Chain A
C-alpha cells in the first residue's frame, strides 16, 4: 500500500500532453523573436518602387508611422509620417525604429486576450502545462506525504493567486481592445494604399497579402470576449425592448460566431501579420520581386 497522492500522479497519463504546449511555446517564441528583430531594424518596411506618389506597401509592424527617419532605406515618403521626422529626443530607441512606438497597442491586446492567456499560462508558466497535469512551479523535489511516503512534487511553495494578485492587470483587456479596433481601420487604410502605386490603381501579390491581413485581424479582434460582453453579453434580457432585440442580440450573435473561432483567428492573424512584414521587407530589400499589374 502506498500513499494515495503518490499513486494519483502525472505518470498515469498515457497521452502525449506535452505536444500542444510545446507547439504553442515554439509558435509564440518564434513570433516574439521575429517581431522584435523586425521592429529593431527601422528600415525596409515600405515599398513603392521608388515612386513618391499615392500608394505603396507598408509593413503592419510599422503602421501607423509616427516618425520617419528619411536617411534610412526602405522607408515611406515624409507625408506618411504622423508627426514628422525622427526627433532627437528618441535617440535611445533601438534602431531608431518607429515600430516601438506603436507595437505596445497590439501587443497589450494579445497579451491580455482570453485565448492567449490559456496559451501562455499553459506553455510558459506551466500552471498547468496541460489538463490533468500537475503545475510545474519549481525544481522537482522529494517530500514526505502525510502517510510518510516520499513523493515527488514540483511545487516551490509559491501561493497561487490566479488573476487576483499581480495578474489583476489582465482586466485592462477591454482598453487594449479599443486601441486594437482603431488599428483594424488603420491597417484597412494601408490595404487600400496597397492597391495604388504612384497614384495608379493596380494589384500585386503584396496587395493581396496586405488586404487579407486586416480581414484576419478583424475576425480576431471583433471576436474578442470583451466586445462580446459590451455589445450585448452584459444584458439579461434581449427581448425586453426593440433596440436590444434587433441591435444588441444580432450583434452579439455575429460576435459569438467569431468568438467560437477566436483561437483559430488568433493564430491565423498572428502568422499573417508576420508574413506581411516578411513580404514587404523582402520586396523592399530587393530580394524578391513583387508580381503586379503595374509592371514594376
Chain B
C-alpha cells in the first residue's frame, strides 16, 4: 500500500479550488476507486457521479491530469509512483458540484434530431437487414454517451460552439440514422443548418478520446460532410439531380 498524492476540484460552477488528498493505492485500483476511498475516509461531501464501474454506463466522465477520461477505466498503474494526479470536472459543461457536471445540453441536441423514420411498407413487413448493412450502423451503437467526445471537441470546449454545433456524439447518431437501410427521413439540410456539420474542422480529438474506439471522424462526421457536399456544394451532383430528379 502506497500513499499517493491527489488534487480534486472542490467547488461549483463559479469558484472552486484544488484540494490536496492523500490516499493509499493498492494493486488493481482505478481512479474511481480512489475517489470512493477519499469520499469514504476524508471527504464525505465530495460529489461524484458513477454507476456501472465497467466502462459501459458513461457516468464517471472526468478529466484526469487535464485529459478527459472515464474514472472507472483509468488504472492507477498508468501513472508514475511520484506523479500527482489532478482530478477535475469536464471543462465544457457547467459544474453542479465538485466533479459532477450538468450535461443536459447534450439531451437538448438529441431532441433536435429527426427520429428513426421507416416507411409504412417496411414497418408492416418483416424487414430483413443483411449483416453487411448492420455492421456499419451497429458500430455507432457502441456509444455509451459518456460525452467525453462532446467535452473534448474544441468547437464546444473552447470556441463557444454550443449554439451552432451539436457535437460529435450527435453527428454519430445522425450517421447511424442516415445510413440505416430502413430509414427514409431526409436530414441532410438539418445536418448542415441545425447540427452545424461545417463547424467541425476535423481535428479528430473526439475519435482519440472515445473509450469505445468508435471512428467518429472517419465513419460519422466525414461521411455526413460528404453527403452535405453532395446536396449543397457539388455542381455535378446538383446537375444530375436536376436531370434525373433523384436525391
Contact assessment for A114 and B222 in the assembled complex, using a CB-CB cutoff below 8 Å: yes
User: Are A4 and B66 within 8 A (Cβ)?
Assistant: no
**Distance in angstroms between the alpha carbons of A4 and B130 in the assembled complex:** 50
Does A3 sit within 8 A of B, measured CB to CB? yes
User: How many residues of chain A have a CB within 8 Å of chain B?
Assistant: 50
Closest to A149 in B: B15
Main secondary structure of the interface of B (DSSP, over half): mixed
Q: Bound state CA distance, A11 and B66, in angstroms? A: 8
CB of A266 to closest CB in B, whole Å: 13
A163 and B17 in contact (CB under 8 A), knowing A13-B66, A237-B133? no
Complex Cα gap A78–B98 (Å): 75
| Residue contact A234 to B226, C-beta cutoff 8 Å | yes
A residues in contact with B86, CB < 8 Å? 12
Docked-complex contact B152 and A226, CB < 8 angstroms: no
With contacts A12-B63, A236-B181 known, is A147 near B15, CB below 8 A?
yes
Once A128-B205, A239-B132 are accepted as A-B contacts, the answer to whether A162 and B66 lie under 8 Å apart by CB is no
- One of A40-48, A62-70, A166-174 at the interface: A166-174
Q: With A131-B205, A132-B152 known to touch, is A162 a contact of B226 (CB < 8 Å)?
A: no
Bound CA–CA A287/B229 (angstroms): 49
Chain A residues at the B interface, C-beta cutoff of 8 Å = 1-4, 7-8, 10-15, 114, 117-118, 121-122, 127-128, 131-132, 134-135, 146-147, 160-164, 167-168, 171, 174, 225-226, 228-230, 233-234, 236-240, 245, 249, 259-260
Chain B interface residues toward A at CB < 8 A: 9, 11-18, 63, 65-68, 83, 86, 88-89, 91, 95, 129-130, 132-133, 152, 154-155, 157-161, 165, 178-181, 183, 196, 198-205, 208-209, 217-218, 222-223, 226-227, 229-230, 233-234
Given contacts A14-B65, A162-B155, could you give 5 more A-B pairs where the C-beta distance is less than 8 Å? Answer: A4-B11, A114-B222, A131-B154, A162-B199, A164-B198
